[in-house]
Chains A and B, each alone.
Chain A
Amino acid sequence: MSSQVALAIPPPSPSSIQALYGALAKTRLYNTFLEYTRPYIEHVLNKPETAEEEAQKLLNDTKFLYLLNMLSQDAALTISEDKLRETYENVKGKFREFGIDIDDPMEIILEHELWRLRQIRGNFDKFTTMLLNFAAESPEDAYRYAVIPTALTLLLIASLIAETREKLEPISNEIRKLADELELYTLTFMVALEENEEENKVVATARSTEELKKALETV
């Protein structure tokens, strides 16, 4: 691999719900992860609007990247979809307790993580090739794809510690904003994996509602 290609590759993206699940499960790996990221999480708890900034600091930290690498391996090997769903329900429940509806952004995050997990387990070659191409073609967007889940991880863990509505509300606002952006990545990657398929061919055109209805009805 040339050094040019290596430089274009961004840091890995953590799985936010997985990290949260691990934080709750309290394994050695996640305890180390939590201990290492605690100052960042506390900062985000007090100032949720700095989540992206804190995420960027972490992504420049070799030890954090090392932990992230192990977390990814743990996710690929051990985490189940049910555990992710269960954690997702716990987070929603925590916000709901304080009268905050966060269902939609959490659904976006869960969708992304389940989709990614399925790709890693069932479509690994195509998935990683797609990500490598994405990083080489759009390094800035690929870096953003590392920042968004890292910031979401900090926010979700901070939400576990938060004990008042005043603390949770600004956290939920940041989660909403980042989840909106994450959804565009989910869709982009889904589209990227569909490239060059016959399905993308235009099979009908329409200039009016009637023509559109016909176009969609005919086989």
Chain B
Amino acid sequence: MPRVHDRGGWPTDEPIDRSEHQIMDWELRVSAIRQVLGQKGLLRSDELRRGIESIKPSRYEALGYYERWTESIESIIVEKGVLTREEIDQKVADLEAQSR
């Protein structure tokens, strides 16, 4: 049984969804963060992929493309000690408080 990300050839009766969607601002930001982390030598493509592949299968299926990137980026930079979960959670809480 292939792992959840190893999708080639999975049987389905559904047609392939080829529709394009509007790229959201937060998705562009996630892509930019990933590029900056790569340029600074803090995140390699293979690490990003490994992080995505480590997401629990049920959660993997529920998340969108850049949501998976976000989860992977967070887990890799926490693993490397660049940021702690607490620092990330605190920043999110601060931003939420500001926007209220």
Task: Say whether A associates with B.
Answer: no
A residues touching B (Cβ–Cβ < 8 Å)?
Answer: none
